[in-house]
Chains A and B, each alone.
Chain A
Amino acid sequence: MDNILNLLWLLPALPLFGFLVLAIFGSKFSKRGIAFIGVGTVGISALIAIIIGISYLTHTPPGNSYSQTLWTWFNVAGFSPSITFYLDPLSLIFCFVVTFVGFLIHWYSAESMEEGEGYARYFAYMNLFICAMLVLVLADNLLLLYMGWEGVGLCSFLLIGFWYKDDENSAAARKAFIVTRIGDTMMLIGLFLLVKSFGTLNVAAILSGAPAVWTQGSSLAFWGAFLLLGGALGKSAQFPLQVWLPDAMAGPSPVSALIHAATMVTAGVYLIARMHVLYELAPAVQMLIAIIGAVTLIIAGFSALMQNDIKRILAYSTISQIGYMFLALGVGAFSSGVFHFFIHAFFKSLLFLSAGAVILALGDEHDIRKMGGLRKKMPVVFWTFLFGAGALAALPFVTAGFYSKDEIIWYAFASDKGSIWLWLAAFGGSFITSIYTFRMVFHTFFGEQKTEISYVPGNRIKIPLIILGILSLIAGFVELPEWMGHFAPFSKFLNTALPAVSLANVAGSTETILLLINMIFALLGVWIAWRFYKKPQLLSSLQTGAGKRLSNFLFEGWKFDWFYDHVLVRPVVWLSRIDKTDFIEKIYGGVGNLNIWLNKVFGRTENGNIRWYTMGVALGAVITLTIILFL
Chain B
Amino acid sequence: MVTVSMNTGLLLASILFLIGLVGVLTRRNILFMLMSIEIMLNATGLAFIVAGAHWLQADGQVMFLFILAMAAAEVALGLALILQMHRQHKTLDSNVLNLLKD
* A/B contact in complex, CB under 8 angstroms: yes
Q: A: which residues have CB within 8 A of B?
A: 603-604, 606-611, 614-615, 618
A618 to chain B, nearest CB (A): 6
Contact of A615 among B25, B97, B98, B100 (CB under 8 A): B25
- A609/B98 in contact, CB under 8 A: yes
Q: Which residues of B contact A609 (CB under 8 A)?
A: 94-95, 98
Counting CB contacts under 8 A, is B33 at the interface? Answer: yes
Q: B: which residues have CB within 8 A of A?
A: 21, 24-26, 28, 33, 94-95, 97-102
- B95/A603 in contact, CB under 8 A: no
A630 to chain B, nearest CB (A): 18
Q: Which residues of B contact A618 (CB under 8 A)?
A: 21, 25
In the assembled complex, the Cα of A618 lies from the Cα of B97 at a distance in Å of: 20
In the assembled complex, the Cα of A610 lies from the Cα of B98 at a distance in Å of: 8
Q: Which residues of A contact B24 (CB under 8 A)?
A: 611, 614
Q: Which residues of A contact B102 (CB under 8 A)?
A: 603-604, 606-607
- A610/B101 in contact, CB under 8 A: no
Q: Knowing A603-B102, A618-B21 are in contact, say whether A608-B97 is a contact too (CB < 8 A).
A: yes
Q: Which of A604, A607, A611, A615 has the most chain B CB within a 10 Å cutoff?
A: A611
Q: List 28 A-B contacts (CB under 8 A).
A: A603-B102, A604-B102, A606-B100, A606-B101, A606-B102, A607-B98, A607-B101, A607-B102, A608-B97, A608-B98, A608-B99, A608-B100, A608-B101, A609-B94, A609-B95, A609-B98, A610-B33, A610-B94, A610-B97, A611-B24, A611-B25, A611-B28, A611-B33, A614-B24, A614-B25, A615-B25, A618-B21, A618-B25
A596 to chain B, nearest CB (A): 13
Q: Which residues of A contact B97 (CB under 8 A)?
A: 608, 610
- A611/B101 in contact, CB under 8 A: no
In the assembled complex, the Cα of A450 lies from the Cα of B69 at a distance in Å of: 100
B89 to chain A, nearest CB (A): 13
B59 to chain A, nearest CB (A): 25
Q: Which residues of B contact A606 (CB under 8 A)?
A: 100-102
In the assembled complex, the Cα of A609 lies from the Cα of B100 at a distance in Å of: 9
In the assembled complex, the Cα of A608 lies from the Cα of B94 at a distance in Å of: 10
Q: Which of A604, A607, A609, A610 has the most chain B CB within a 10 Å cutoff?
A: A610
Give the nearest-CB partner of B27 in chain A: A611
Q: Which residues of A contact B101 (CB under 8 A)?
A: 606-608
- Other 11 A-B pairs with CB < 8 A, given A607-B102, A608-B97: A603-B102, A604-B102, A606-B100, A607-B101, A608-B99, A609-B95, A609-B98, A610-B33, A611-B33, A614-B24, A614-B25
In the assembled complex, the Cα of A615 lies from the Cα of B25 at a distance in Å of: 6
Give the nearest-CB partner of A606 in chain B: B102
- B21/A611 in contact, CB under 8 A: no
